[in-house]
C-alpha cells in the first residue's frame, strides 16, 4: 500500500506555537543512494542520526520527517524527561532487576540530552533539578505510599512532602501529599527538538515535510517519497506510533491522543501566588490525573485528557470541547487564578503497547526500529535512538543490552475489536481519578 500526504496530518498547535515560525530544512527531488536513512526527526531519530554521524564520519546520513521538526509527538508532550519511572502498585522485590534496567535507560537518555544541550548551547528551558509527583484523592494517596516504598528500595534520591509543603511550593492546596524525585528534568520540548535538529553533524542531511509513502524491501531498501526515492543500505525507523503505517508493529502498537492547554504569561503578581518554586512540574500519582507545568516563561501548562481516536490529533472543535475539562482542573487547583485565560490548546499522540513494553532492534535485514515509549519518550526515546545507532553498526554496550531486554509486546486484535479494546483500556486509566484529574 502506498500512502499519501494526508496520512501524516498536523496542525500548528503544541509547544512550537510558542516559538517563532519555522522554515523547512532542505527538500527532496530525484533519486539518492546513501548508506543510512533515519525516518522520523523526533528525539529518537535525532539521537540516532547524531550517533550514526559520530560513528561513521565519512557516511552521509539522511534524516527524514513527514512534518516540520517540533510538530510531531516529540514537540507535543508535557516536557518531562523521566529519570525514574513510576510503576503503579505495591513494589515487589522480584521487579527490582527490570525496574533498574528501565531506569538505567532513562538515566542514559537524561545524560545524553544534558550533555548535548550544554555542548550545543540549545536554549530549551532545560531544568535538571528533578520534578514532583502529586496525590490529591484516595487512589493516588495510597499510590504515594507505594511510590515511596519503591524509591527507598531502589535507593533513589527523593523527598516526601505533605499538603503544607506542596502548597508552599506550588500555591495549591489540592494535593494531600507529594514527592520530589531528583533524577529527572523539565524542558520546552519543541525548542529541544528544534535545537537538536538545527545542530546535527555536517554529514547529516535533515529533510522536513518529506513523508515516506512506501518502503520497498530489498538490498538496498527503497523509500518512495513525494519528490523521488532514496535507496538506503540501512534504514532506521524512529516513527513511534506511526510505524504501522509503514508496515511495522501492526497489531502491536497504537496511538493514544492527549490534550492540554497553556495559559497566557502570568504577571509578577499572579506568579507570586504560586509558591516558592519559580518553575516546576507535577505528575499525578494516579494514571489518569493531570500533568501540570509552570514554565520558565511564566505559563501554566495543564494536560488531563487521553483517548483513543485512531492515532490522530483532535479537530479544532474537539479540542475546544476538551478545554472545558482543562479549565475545570485548572480552577480547582488555582482558584486565585480563575481570571487567567487559556491562550493555546494542543493535542498530541503517544505510542502505547498492550502491555506497556518498548520496541528496539532489527525488524528485517538492514532495517532497525525503536519506539513505543508509553509516555516516557523524552529520555527513553533519546537513549533508544543512541543505542540503536550503535546496534545497527554492529556495536555492543550495556545500554544496548538494556534496550534489548524489553519484554515482547502482546498481540492487539484487528479492527473493530481493536477500537473497542483500545477505548476501554484508555478509559480505564481514569477509573477513580477523582480530584487528581
pLDDT in tens, 79-106: 999 999 999 999 999 999 999 999 999 9
Of 255, 333, 349, 269, the C-alpha closest to 301 is: 333
Residue 48 lies in a domain: yes
Quickly list DSSP for 225-284: ETTEEEEEEEEEE--GGGGGGGTSSTTT-EEEEEEEEEEPPPPHHHHTTS-S-SSEEEEE
Structure-block grid coordinates of residue 289: 490525573
Residue 84 lies in a domain: no
Say whether both 176 and 314 belong to one domain: yes
Say whether both 238 and 383 belong to one domain: yes
Of 390, 381, 389, the C-alpha closest to 359 is: 381
Q: What is the CATH number of the domain that holds 322?
A: 3.30.9.10
Residue 94 lies in a domain: no
pLDDT in tens, 333-366: 999 999 999 999 999 999 999 899 999 999 999 9
Where residue 198 falls among pLDDT bands split at 50, 70, 90?
very high
Q: How many structural domains are present in the chain?
A: 2
Residue 372 lies in a domain: yes
pLDDT value, residue 25: 82
pLDDT in tens, 103-156: 999 999 999 999 999 999 999 999 999 999 999 999 999 999 999 999 999 999
DSSP letter, residue 36: E
Say whether both 259 and 335 belong to one domain: yes
Say whether both 162 and 214 belong to one domain: no
Residue 109 lies in a domain: no
Centre a 10 Å sphere on the Cβ of residue 29 and count the other Cβ atoms it contains.
9
* pLDDT of residue 426 exceeding 90: no
Say whether both 277 and 242 belong to one domain: no
Say whether both 221 and 361 belong to one domain: yes
pLDDT in tens, 235-245: 999 999 999 99
pLDDT value, residue 424: 85
What is d(CA 306, CA 14) in angstroms, rounded to the nearest whole number?
Answer: 15
What is d(CA 310, CA 208) in angstroms, rounded to the nearest whole number?
Answer: 24
Say whether both 221 and 340 belong to one domain: no
Averaged pLDDT score across all residues of the chain: 96
Say whether both 197 and 147 belong to one domain: no
Residue 313, preceding bond cis, omega within 30 degrees? no
pLDDT value, residue 134: 98
Residue 169, preceding bond cis, omega within 30 degrees? no
Say whether both 342 and 364 belong to one domain: no
Say whether both 326 and 371 belong to one domain: no
pLDDT value, residue 421: 84
Residue 336 lies in a domain: yes
Domain extent for 298: 131-182+255-352+426-436
pTM of the complete model: 0.97
Say whether both 259 and 402 belong to one domain: no
Q: What is the CATH number of the domain that holds 248?
A: 3.50.50.60
pLDDT in tens, 298-333: 999 999 999 998 899 999 999 999 999 999 999 999
Of 220, 137, 208, the C-alpha closest to 431 is: 137
Q: What is the dihedral of CA 359, 361, 367, 372, to 10 degrees?
A: 10
Say whether both 146 and 39 belong to one domain: no
Residue 114 lies in a domain: no
* pLDDT of residue 1 exceeding 80: no
Residue 107 lies in a domain: no
What is d(CA 415, CA 250) in angstroms, rounded to the nearest whole number?
Answer: 11
* pLDDT of residue 418 exceeding 90: no
What is d(CA 32, CA 29) in angstroms, rounded to the nearest whole number?
Answer: 9
pLDDT in tens, 176-186: 999 999 999 99
What is d(CA 321, CA 269) in angstroms, rounded to the nearest whole number?
Answer: 30
pLDDT in tens, 244-298: 999 999 999 999 999 999 999 999 999 999 999 999 999 999 999 999 999 999 9
Amino acid at each position: 500500500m502506498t500512502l499519501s500526504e494526508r496520512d501524516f496530518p498536523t496542525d500548528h498547535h503544541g509547544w512550537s506555537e510558542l516559538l517563532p515560525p519555522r522554515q523547512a530544512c532542505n527538500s527532496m527531488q530525484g533519486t539518492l543512494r546513501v548508506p543510512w536513512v533515519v525516518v522520523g526527526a523526533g528525539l529518537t531519530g535525532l539521537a540516532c542520526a547524531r550517533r550514526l554521524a559520530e560513528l561513521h564520519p565519512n557516511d552521509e546520513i539522511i534524516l527524514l520527517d513527514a512534518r516540520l521538526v517540533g510538530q510531531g509527538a516529540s514537540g507535543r508532550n508535557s516536557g518531562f524527561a523521566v529519570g525514574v519511572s513510576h510503576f503503579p502498585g505495591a513494589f515487589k522485590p522480584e521487579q527490582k532487576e527490570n525496574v533498574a534496567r528501565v531506569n538505567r535507560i532513562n538515566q542514559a537518555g537524561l545524560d545524553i540530552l544534558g550533555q548535548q544541550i550544554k555542548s550545543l548551547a540549545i536554549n530549551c528551558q532545560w531544568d535538571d533539578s528533578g520534578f514532583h509527583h502529586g496525590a490529591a484523592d484516595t487512589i493516588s494517596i495510597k499510590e504515594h505510599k507505594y511510590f515511596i516504598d519503591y524509591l527507598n528500595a531502589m535507593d533513589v534520591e527523593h523527598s516526601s512532602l505533605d499538603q503544607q509543603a506542596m502548597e508552599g511550593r506550588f500555591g495549591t492546596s489540592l494535593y494531600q501529599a507529594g514527592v520530589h524525585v531528583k533524577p529527572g528534568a523539565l524542558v520546552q520540548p519543541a525548542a529541544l527538538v528544534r535545537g537538536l535538529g538545527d545542530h546535527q553533524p555536517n554529514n547529516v542531511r535533515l529533510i522536513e515535510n518529506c513523508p515516506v509513502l512506501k518502503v520497498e524491501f530489498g538490498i538496498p531498501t527503497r523509500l518512495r517519497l513525494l519528490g523521488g526515492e532514496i535507496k538506503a543500505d540501512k534504514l532506521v525507523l524512529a516513527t513511534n506510533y506511526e510505524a504501522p503505517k509503514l508496515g511495522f508493529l501492526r497489531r502491536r502498537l497504537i496511538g493514544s491522543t492527549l490534550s492540554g492547554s497553556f495559559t497566557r504569561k502570568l504577571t509578577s503578581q499572579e506568579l507570586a501566588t504560586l509558591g516558592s518554586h519559580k518553575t516546576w512540574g507535577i505528575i499525578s500519582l494516579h494514571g489518569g490525573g493531570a500533568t501540570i507545568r509552570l514554565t520558565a516563561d511564566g505559563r501554566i501548562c495543564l494536560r488531563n485528557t487521553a483517548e483513543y481516536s485512531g492515532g490522530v490529533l483532535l479537530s479544532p472543535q474537539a479540542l475546544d470541547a476538551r478545554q472545558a475539562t482543562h479549565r475545570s482542573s485548572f480552577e480547582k487547583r488555582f482558584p486565585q487564578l480563575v481570571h487567567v485565560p487559556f491562550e493555546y490548546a494542543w493535542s498530541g499522540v503517544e505510542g502505547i503497547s498492550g502491555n506497556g513494553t518498548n520496541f528496539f532492534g532489527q525488524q528485517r535485514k538492514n532495517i532497525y526500529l525503536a519506539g513505543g515509549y508509553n509516555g516516557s519518550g523524552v529520555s527513553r526515546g533519546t537513549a533508544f535512538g543512541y543505542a540503536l545507532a550503535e546496534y545497527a553498526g554492529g556495536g555492543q554496550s550495556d545500554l544496548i543490552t538494556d534496550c534489548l531486554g524489553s519484554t515482547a509486546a502482546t498481540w492487539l486484535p484487528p479492527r473493530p475489536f481493536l477500537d473497542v479494546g483500545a477505548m476501554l483500556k484508555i478509559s480505564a486509566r481514569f477509573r477513580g481519578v477523582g480530584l487528581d484529574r
